[in-house]
């Protein structure tokens, strides 16, 4: 996770949100916090389509709220998780929720 100047953002919150058709499955949502280098890992993800979001600060679990997601949907990064696959994604931190 980087900021607008492309500098790593430590302690940023990263949320993985399933595609709209799977949002009732709360087990598909995942979150992580970046390390000192702005890196994060999420393991054991179910295959499917997701959007990734990152914030410097955000209320824990607000990404489960459909109204909140509607306000930020286009600001996330799409990612497709495949069986046994690994993805590397660079996110720009969202400054405000």
Per residue in 13-26, pLDDT tens? 999 999 999 999 99
Q: How many Å is the Cα radius of gyration of the chain?
A: 13
Among the listed residues 92, 59, 95, 64, the one whose alpha carbon sits nearest the alpha carbon of residue 77:
92
- How far apart are alpha carbons 54 and 91 in whole angstroms? 7
State pTM to two decimals: 0.90
**CA geometry: angle at 77 spanning 76 and 79, to 5°?**
135
Q: Are 14 and 53 in contact (CB under 8 A)?
A: yes
Report pLDDT digits (tens) over 51-93: 999 999 999 999 999 999 999 988 999 999 988 878 889 999 9
Cβ neighbours of residue 65 under 8 Å, at least 6 residues apart? none
Cβ neighbours of residue 92 under 8 Å, at least 6 residues apart? 1, 2, 3, 4, 54
């Amino acid at each position: 996770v980087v900021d607008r100047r492309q500098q790593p953002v430590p302690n940023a919150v990263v949320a993985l949100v399933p595609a709209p058709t799977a949002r009732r499955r709360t087990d598909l949502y995942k979150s992580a916090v970046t390390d000192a280098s702005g890196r994060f890992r999420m393991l054991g993800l179910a295959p499917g389509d997701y959007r990734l979001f990152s914030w410097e600060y955000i209320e824990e679990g607000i990404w489960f709220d459909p109204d909140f997601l509607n306000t930020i949907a286009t600001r996330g990064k799409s990612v497709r998780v495949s069986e046994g696959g690994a993805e590397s994604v660079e996110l720009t931190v969202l400054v405000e929720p």
